């Protein structure tokens, strides 16, 4: 997978992976938010399950 937004370092500015694909960056951010939300939900489920075992 070619993720590089540049073909030369000469005059390069934003050079991070997918820097030239803004829609993909938005999708990655949404995935990151989803990971956080999912983990918090999992945390709450773990607490509920633990509490029932007491």
Partner 1 sequence: MQPEIADLMARIDALEAAKDMATTINAEVFYWWCTALMLAIHAGFLAYEMGASRAKNALASGMKNLIAFAFLIPSFYFVGWWIYLAFPDGFSIAEGSEVGLPWSEYMGPNMADNASGIFYAAFTLFAATTASIMSGSVIERIRISGFTILAIFLGAVVWVLGAAWGWHPDGWLTAKWGLHDVGAAGCVHTIAGFFTLGVLINLGPRLGRFSADGSVNNIDGHNMPMSLIGLMLIVMGFFGFLGGCIIYTGDAWTTIYGTPATLSAFAFNTLMGVAGGMIGCYLVTRDPFWMMSGALVGVISSASGLDIYYPGLAFLISFIGGCIIPKLNGILVRTFKIDDAVGAVSVHGFGGVWGLVACGIFAAGYPNVAGPEISFFGQIASTIVFVLLGFVPGYVLSLVLKGFGLLRVSEAAELAGLDRAEVPVSAYPESINPAFTNDTASPNPAV
Q: Tell the smallest beta-carbon distance from residue 1 to partner 1 (Å).
A: 18
What are the distances in angstroms from CA 18 to CA 2, 46, 52? 9, 36, 46
Which two structure tokens, joined as six digits, stand for 29? Answer: 């951010």
User: Measured from the CB atom, is 7 or 13 closer to partner 1?
Assistant: 13
44 binds partner 1 (CB under 8 A): yes
Residues whose CB is less than 8 angstroms from the CB of residue 16 and which lie 6 or more positions away in sequence, other chains included: 5
Residues lying near partner 1 in the complex (CB under 8 A) are found at 12-16, 19, 22, 25-26, 29, 32-33, 36, 40, 43-44, 46-47, 49-51, 53-54
């Amino acid at each position: 997978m070619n993720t590089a937004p540049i073909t030369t370092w000469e005059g390069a500015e934003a050079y991070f992976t997918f820097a030239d694909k803004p829609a993909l960056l938005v999708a990655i951010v949404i995935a990151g938010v989803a990971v956080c939300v999912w983990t918090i939900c999992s945390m709450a489920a773990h607490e509920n399950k633990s509490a029932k075992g007491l």
